[in-house]
Structure 1
Amino acid sequence: MTKKTIFIFFFLCVSLFYNTKRSSRLDWDVFGYYLYLPAKFIYDDIRLEKKDQWLTPLIDKYKTTDNLYQAYKGPKDIYVMKYTMGLAYVYAPFFFVANVSAPILGYEQDGFSAPYQWMLLIGSMLFSLIGIHYLFRILSLYFSDQVVLACVALIIFGSNYFVMTAYDGLMPHNFVFAFFAIMLYQSIKWYEDQKTKRVFIIGLCLGIAALIRPTSIVVAVIPALWSVGDFDSLKKRIALFIKNIPQLLILGGVAILVLLPQFIYWKSVTGEWLFYSYPDEKINLLTPHLVNVFFSYKKGWLLYTPLMIFALIGFVHLYKKYRQLFYPIFIFIIINAYVISCWDCWWYGGSFAQRPFVESYVFMAFPLAAFVEKMLRQKLLIAAPVFLMLAFVLYLNLFQTKQALNGVIHT
């Protein structure tokens, strides 16, 4: 059994331990992401016109939410789902298995009984493992096994990736992380062989990630600029794209097809093909909350995930040794952090630390790995204190995660 297999098995056990502590997984925001499925395939009521007959009793029975903030009356006086349907896509295979098995196992076929809860838990854990697997594969293309194992362990147990997978795995970030990792791996391979099947996968991942969290569309800069380290390589990249326009059209077409059901749904319930479905929350690109997002006691990213300080330092080594990786990652991180900071609710409630950064750890793993690689080449007198600090931030993350789950730290 390889070290990677042992590591993944250990994470699976930890994740199962944390998830079995939850009485319900289909609640609050997750309830909103999931609602499309029972509404459409069990109750045939995607407009929630008969919600008092089925939805209200289910909310009372399973305590999924205090109030139905996940949907509201739109411009046509018809209920509109607040969240886009990307996660419903991902939940769907596990939902259908549960829907078939529930009556066989003696449970209610209502969308929320135990088989539905457990199948979606299995789905979230599966996507966690897929994300970790691809992160290993990607990093192994550039770094030694020792560096990769250390980096992945730090990302998982030393950051809020841990709580967003082992405890809140049905939230968007776990799944988007996996789609980002798959997309990056396929992008790297496409630049080697230009196989059409890879653009299908890239387009699918990009489309679903954007449908789960629309701001995820900024990740497109990663596959577009990957391995572009200077002006000459940029010119070659543009020439490569021009040569492969048909494949790029396929990529865009796949992404649009993924988004199409959402447009049709909006047209049906609002009369508009494109609809902003967050009535009380806005993103304002002119008023970023960068200082709060990075440093505030309430939810500062670097305050509650200090591991990322080492990753940011690692950008220096990444620039010196892996410049072709530095530019796409650095550009994405800057744009992504800015967009995250422009949300009115900049603290992104219901989580430990800054959860919208979690999916970007696929890319932050590179400067972190560069930092670890640099430290492994230093003298023991320099490296030992640094690795002790890394061990401490890993412990601190697990300790503060426990505090957050117990209500000691603001979530």
Structure 2
Amino acid sequence: MNVLLTGLKNGGQWLARYYLLILLLFAGYRALNLGGRFHRGMIWSDAEGYYLYLRALFVHDDGFEGLDVRTTDQFFNYEGTNKRFTKYTCGVAMLEAPFFGIAHLLALASGRKADGYSDVYLYGLQAAGIFYGFLGLWLLHLSLLRHFKPGVAMMVVTGLFLGTNLYHYVLQEPGMSHVYSFFLFALWFWLAPGFYQKPGPWRSAGMGLLLGLITLIRPTNMLVLLFLGLYDVRSWQGFVVRLQFVAREARHLWLAPLAAALVFLPQLAYWKYLSGDWLIYSYGEEGFNWSAPEFWKVLFDIKNGWLLFSPMMALPLLGGFLGMWRNRYNMGVIMLMWLVTYYLTASWWCWWFGGAFGHRNFVEYYVFLAVPMAWLFSNVMGSRWWLPKIFLVAVWLVLLYYGYMLAVHFRGPHYEWYMWEEVVAYMWELRLDVRYE
């Protein structure tokens, strides 16, 4: 018995150390075998809106003038011009650029069609999704290890990747913004402690650049500034100390907004070139309905309900609401950020956020929600009673299976009830294969 227990313990330690490598190899396998609409339509709709900048700058001789697009019913010429207009900003294209560049060089060197759409570019985009997704997961893993045991970190990170719609946006729709924002959030989360431990001009400028890129990709994600501002603040006295820090370091902190503004220069240049104005609201008449938020639908509607398709995320919500009052591990500010994001999401005119698997607007916030999830797991797994541990592991495995199966059988643009019921029925057969690609 002692030999068996020792073997299980050593095996668990090995798995907790190398699980990310195992997940990475699995992700690579799934990416190479990705078929159906997710391969053919990887550069389509919103994803093409982000990607359009790269084709205009590096493929099309006349830039945005007369630029051809695939999603012709979504991207038109700017009024009164022959310049192709995208309402989406260029932050995603900045992060995609190295992988696009490699793909473009390979296309030119091999004599393949160098139009930005051929298979070599699709593989480049897949590589970008896996690279940023797993770099984000690794940074999140390192951040969790500051406070939690390796086994807990492994359960949380694996649960977030396989048991939620994060899997979908890393592997199946890497052209969307969320995997890139997830990486940037993880980097922000990892850098936050050092910002206060060793303040200085380089850290201020670096965090400013990072904030600028986060905001450029998705303006509402500026909420990460709330996390940094209230990081480790647990009382009124702590808030006063934070204000004193800001006053003391003001000679360095001014570099942050300056660096953030520099990130926006390419976007401002595009708007100026397009319209003659440096700043435009590219979303036109789209906006928020503050008085009638769709709270219930955002969580449970068949049209991308968050917890319907990623019930794994009920665990961090449970942990967050139980632990936020003591504000350990910054859970108070994390739950405040989630509540604000929830309200903003439910108030947007298109509360389901178009074609998606589950509610995509929360994906990058999984970085922060990992903390209350880890806190909950740590408390249960640290208990001396075996029954709660067994129950939690069983729930985790079931939610892992459910989330993964819904993701790999998703065909879009979003689920309908009959599709959901069909896949759930298939799950009961306890089969891990994918019926169709």
TM-score (norm 2): 0.85
The code of the aligned residue for 1:49 comes to E
Q: Does 1:363 align with 2:368?
A: yes
Alignment-derived partner of residue 387 in structure 1: 393
* Deviation readout 1:249-299 (Å, 9 max, x if unpaired): 111111110012211211221222221112353233343222211222332
Instruction: Give the match's secondary structure for 1:35.
Output: helix
- Sequence identity, in percent? 28
Q: 1:14 aligns with which of 21, 26, 33?
A: 26
The code of the aligned residue for 1:10 comes to I
Indicate conservation of the 8 Å contact 1:207/1:255, yes or no. yes
Deviation at 1:76, TM superposition (A): 6.2
- 1: distance between equivalents of 2:380 and 2:77? 53
The code of the aligned residue for 1:8 comes to L
Alignment-derived partner of residue 396 in structure 1: 402
Instruction: Give the match's secondary structure for 2:338.
Output: helix
How many equivalent pairs are there? 399
- 1: distance between equivalents of 2:45 and 2:31? 16
Q: 1:323 aligns with which of 320, 325, 328?
A: 328
The code of the aligned residue for 2:18 comes to I
Q: Does 1:49 align with 2:65?
A: yes
The code of the aligned residue for 1:326 comes to M
* Deviation readout 1:35-93 (Å, 9 max, x if unpaired): 111112222434x3323xxx1xxx5xxxx43x241344347675422211111111111
Q: For the structure 1 residues 316 and 253, does the alpha-carbon distance in structure 2 shift closer, same or farther, using more than 3 Å as the test?
A: same
Alignment-derived partner of residue 243 in structure 1: 248
- 2: distance between equivalents of 1:404 and 1:107? 31
- 1: distance between equivalents of 2:319 and 2:372? 4
5 Å matches for 1:123-142? 123-142=128-147
- 1: distance between equivalents of 2:144 and 2:308? 26
Q: For the structure 1 residues 207 and 372, does the alpha-carbon distance in structure 2 shift closer, same or farther, using more than 3 Å as the test?
A: same
5 Å matches for 1:7-406? 7-20=19-32, 21-22=34-35, 23-24=39-40, 25-46=42-63, 48-51=64-67, 55=68, 59=69, 64-65=70-71, 67-74=72-79, 78-279=83-284, 281-319=286-324, 322-323=327-328, 325-378=330-383, 379-405=385-411
Deviation at 1:320, TM superposition (A): 5.9
- 2: distance between equivalents of 1:222 and 1:350? 30
Deviation at 1:334, TM superposition (A): 1.1
- 1: distance between equivalents of 2:57 and 2:118? 17
- 2: distance between equivalents of 1:259 and 1:357? 24
- 1: distance between equivalents of 2:215 and 2:75? 19
Moved more, 70-79 or 222-231: 70-79
Deviation at 1:13, TM superposition (A): 2.5
* Deviation readout 1:85-143 (Å, 9 max, x if unpaired): 11111111122222222221121222222332222221221101110110011111111
Instruction: Give the match's secondary structure for 1:45.
Output: coil
Q: For the structure 1 residues 362 and 235, does the alpha-carbon distance in structure 2 shift closer, same or farther, using more than 3 Å as the test?
A: same
Q: CA RMSD in A?
A: 2.3
The code of the aligned residue for 1:335 comes to V
TM-score (norm 1): 0.90
The code of the aligned residue for 2:243 comes to I
Indicate conservation of the 8 Å contact 1:180/1:362, yes or no. yes
- 1: distance between equivalents of 2:102 and 2:218? 25
The code of the aligned residue for 1:251 comes to A
The code of the aligned residue for 2:30 comes to Y
Q: For the structure 1 residues 118 and 369, does the alpha-carbon distance in structure 2 shift closer, same or farther, using more than 3 Å as the test?
A: same
- 2: distance between equivalents of 1:127 and 1:90? 9
Indicate conservation of the 8 Å contact 1:32/1:71, yes or no. no
The code of the aligned residue for 1:80 comes to F
Structure 1, unaligned runs of 5 or more? none
Deviation at 1:348, TM superposition (A): 1.6
Instruction: Give the match's secondary structure for 1:80.
Output: coil
- 1: distance between equivalents of 2:222 and 2:82? 30
The code of the aligned residue for 1:39 comes to A
Instruction: Give the match's secondary structure for 2:85.
Output: strand
The code of the aligned residue for 2:372 comes to P
The code of the aligned residue for 2:49 comes to G
Structure 2, unaligned runs of 5 or more? 1-12, 420-437
- 1: distance between equivalents of 2:224 and 2:357? 23
